[in-house]
Amino acid sequence: MLFVGALVGSLWPSLADAHNSANWFDDQAAMSSSGAPSIRINLSEQKAYFYKGGRLVGVSLISSGKQGFRTSPGKFRVLAKRPNHRSSIYGSYVDRNTGRVVKADVDTRKHRRPAGTYYRGAKMNHYIRFNGGIGLHASGHVPRYPASHGCVRMPPHMARKFYQYARVGMPVHVSY
């Protein structure tokens, strides 16, 4: 019986662990729990929580929108999912001949494209859109403080898990 208790404890962390730990996801609980999936994003904690039928099955550190680009709180639904999405606004201008980045961190609404270049949108893999153009997505830079242009950045391995179990139409609740 002790073995079963130890096994259950390792598969399903306690609620206290969920708030203290960094990133974790329980695939078995996500697959076996009945009920609808949902995501809660806590902007104060800079964490995202994945639930299945009211049961917490995963937690990820995030980086939300920085000043001037704040991620809006509210109740939303997943509008779309795209595995290999690229931004249509933020990215780089790249030389057509050499493939080298001529200008990085561009905003296509503000920065003119130099002659001889093309626009390459920033990668937003495992994109889960939930509020206009705002969504959760993988990023190599997740500093645990607001640093994005409004989207919710996640470590790649966690974005992959959330993406795998997310469904179009499921609730996403963003709060402080």
The secondary structure of the chain, three-state, reads: CHHHHHHHHHHCCCHHHHHHCCCEECHHHHHHCCCCEEEEEECCCCEEEEEECCEEEEEEECECECCCCCCCCEEEECCEEEEEEEEEEEEEEEECCCCCEEEEEEECCCCCCCCCEEEEEEEEEEEEEEECCEEEEECCCCCCCCCECCCEEECHHHHHHHHHHCCCCCEEEEEC
Segment 95-118 mean pLDDT: 97
Tell me the residue type at 86: R
Q: How many CA atoms lie within 13 A of 90 on its CB side?
A: 12
Beta bridge partners of residue 101, listed in sequence order: 94
CATH H-level superfamily of 2-87+120-175:
L,D-transpeptidase catalytic domain-like (2.40.440.10)
Q: What is the mean pLDDT of the chain?
A: 91
Which residues are catalytically annotated? 137, 151
Please write the tens of the pLDDT for every residue from 133-164. 999 999 999 999 999 999 999 999 999 999 99
Mean pLDDT check: name the lowest of 15-29, 97-111, 139-153: 15-29
Indicate if the pLDDT at residue 166 is higher than 80. Answer: yes
- Distance separating alpha carbons of residues 61 and 121, to the nearest angstrom: 24
Confidence of residue 22 (pLDDT cuts 50, 70, 90): confident
What pTM, to 2 d.p., does this model score? 0.87
* 176 burial level (CB within 10 Å; 0-12, 13-18, 19+): exposed
* Count of other CB atoms within 10 angstroms of residue 55: 16
Least confident among 21-25, 117-121, 129-133: 21-25
